[in-house]
Amino acid sequence: MDVVQDWATFLLQQAGRHMTPAYLRPIYTITSTIRSYLLPLLDQITKKPDLASIVLLLIILFLSLRILNMLWRAVMFWVRLAYRVVFWGGLVMAGLWIYSRGVDGAVEDVGYWTGIWTKEYEYWKDQAEAARLVGNRMGQGNGRNVWY
């Protein structure tokens, strides 16, 4: 059994390069080059645990930043999608509203709602002014701290 293992090891390490097809030789060359540079580096890292800790910390930091970047991109995708749906949906709804009411009806509706909103704004503006006057009469200065 030892003879088979010896020959298998020999064939895989030595003769494997010469017996491989030509299209696989660059792959074997690249892997052997990487192995020749990577194995001494891994050996140094395992001999010095402090260096291994720093490398592991850097790898964890890099991976966590990559995951955070993926999460950020996913959230921003959904925010942009919601914004676009609201924008284009609002544009379609405005177009359908103008189509169903006509231009004159849409202008009348806008005038009606503008009048109502203006009345409400004036009402609440008068309420704030009245509260400011009451605060001034009660000695609260310029009325900034009226709403406790």
Radius of gyration of the chain (CA): 38
- For the cut 70, the answer to whether the pLDDT of residue 75 exceeds it is yes
pLDDT band at 119 (very low <50, low <70, confident <90, very high): very high
Higher pLDDT, 89 or 51: 89
pLDDT for res 44: 77
- Asked if the model's pLDDT at residue 128 lies above 80, the reply is yes
Instruction: Give the C-alpha distances (Å, rounded to integers) separating 23 from 12, 19, 27, 28, 30.
Output: 17, 12, 8, 10, 13
Question: φ, ψ for residue 70 (rounded to 5)?
Answer: -65, -40
**Residue 127 near residue 135, CB atoms below 8 Å:** no
Q: How many domains does the chain have?
A: 1
Model confidence, pTM: 0.47
Q: Residue 2 is part of which domain span?
A: 1-47
Considering the domain boundaries, does residue 14 fall inside one? yes
Question: 29 in a domain, yes or no?
Answer: yes
In a domain, 94, yes or no: no
pLDDT (tens digit per residue) in 55-68: 889 999 999 999 99
Is 35 part of a structural domain of the chain?
A: yes
